[in-house]
Structure 1
């Protein structure tokens, strides 16, 4: 299996050093580059072509939210937001900007490893420790999906959305519903279209925000 190539973005060398020690080759990662601020990200992405960008949100010149927005506009690689426990508003802003998920800096190493692998697979990862609080900020933002959008989903699509919201992978959804992964991907594509959401992270937000799945 090919290693997941990762670009680290954090203005603290100590943090980047810690991330390097966690995201090791033996766990399937290759650190291909590092940035000390958000304004360095576009050039680093163009140079290194990473599979995932692990992005701090608080930086001096260009913050992580704006850097993630630029990545999304340029159809860049998925970004995993990395921040501290009290950054709920920043995390909800990161989701709106297009982050594929978020994980806290004080999370166990195993959780960061799971999160980066999930994002590399095209999935989403929302740290359950703060999901409910972050979504309270997200739902206050303009442009949230309408409350009746779920009425347009079939029963099977609702099943898939519930499992997405619970953090299940495509393989786990396929096993649970006894369908193929190709069928799961087809359901997910239709869910995105019907709910007018752009990605899996936004679908998870929708699932929590509209009671399809309850925060733990």
Structure 2
């Protein structure tokens, strides 16, 4: 039989913290090895105990859950942090940027929290249903925004240069328009040709105009 999953619960509400610990303690494959009441103490406890999974609240004294998550994931990359919070808002993205592997709301049932712990211990990402909808909607809108921008591999400046090339401007005119040196413009045009896999300036112009850059058709 494999060793139990070692868990630390970090939450500033003692009744909820102990309730989660007790609920998880009923599972044969999960062992709550420690608890903490604030972010700074949580980092210290986790660093000392090196659990497999941390259940982390966000709104706490001592720096809160986001910086605590960032500190834990930086120090202990083998430890997965799952946020367990009341915050049904864009805090999920701050937590994910800090390194959290999952995000659950405190309305979750004990069985759901236990399943999340097991998933996080397997290095899987886990989200509650409403949070999953928010994350999926965000990435769907991000893909839509990327699709709306022609040549997303280009930087904004490179796309600006390509647009002026598609308008038929020579390098000197582009340099004057953008307050750049001619050498810089030549380098930008070369970078654009490379990224577009275009063999010539004329081919880049054709690609740009097909994508809607350059002069508006009459």
Which residue is 1:16 aligned to? 17
Q: How many residues in Structure 1 have an aligned counterpart in Structure 2?
A: 144
User: How many angstroms apart in 2 are the aligned matches of 1:140 and 1:92?
Assistant: 14
Confirm or deny that 1:78 pairs with 2:87. no
- What is the DSSP-based 3-state SS (H/G/I as helix, E as strand, rest coil) of the residue aligned with 1:27? coil
- What is the DSSP-based 3-state SS (H/G/I as helix, E as strand, rest coil) of the residue aligned with 1:122? coil
Mapped contact 1:96–1:138 kept (Cα < 8 A): no
User: How many angstroms apart in 1 are the aligned matches of 2:104 and 2:115?
Assistant: 10
Judged with a 3 Å threshold, the aligned counterparts in structure 2 of structure 1 residues 70 and 139 are, in CA distance, closer, same or farther, namely farther
Judged with a 3 Å threshold, the aligned counterparts in structure 2 of structure 1 residues 25 and 4 are, in CA distance, closer, same or farther, namely farther
Structure 1 residue 4: deviation in Å?
Answer: 0.5
Task: Look at both structures and tell me which one has the larger radius of gyration over its CA atoms.
Answer: 2
Q: Which has the higher contact order (CA 8 A, sep 6+)?
A: 1
Which residue is 1:111 aligned to? 112
Mapped contact 2:50–2:76 kept (Cα < 8 A): no
Output the TM-score relative to the length of structure 1.
0.60
User: How many angstroms apart in 2 are the aligned matches of 1:73 and 1:46?
Assistant: 11
Structure 2 unaligned residues grouped into runs of 5+: 150-218
Where does 1:183-194 land on structure 2 (aligned, <5 Å)?
Answer: none
- Decide which moves more: 21-30 or 37-46: 21-30
Where does 1:56-135 land on structure 2 (aligned, <5 Å)?
Answer: 56-76=57-77, 77-84=79-86, 86-135=87-136
User: How many angstroms apart in 1 are the aligned matches of 2:4 and 2:43?
Assistant: 22
Judged with a 3 Å threshold, the aligned counterparts in structure 2 of structure 1 residues 140 and 36 are, in CA distance, closer, same or farther, namely farther
Confirm or deny that 1:50 pairs with 2:51. yes
Structure 1 residue 130: deviation in Å?
Answer: 2.5
User: How many angstroms apart in 1 are the aligned matches of 2:139 and 2:42?
Assistant: 25
Which residue is 1:175 aligned to? none
Judged with a 3 Å threshold, the aligned counterparts in structure 2 of structure 1 residues 62 and 140 are, in CA distance, closer, same or farther, namely farther
User: How many angstroms apart in 2 are the aligned matches of 1:75 and 1:4?
Assistant: 16
Judged with a 3 Å threshold, the aligned counterparts in structure 2 of structure 1 residues 114 and 135 are, in CA distance, closer, same or farther, namely same
Output the TM-score relative to the length of structure 2.
0.59
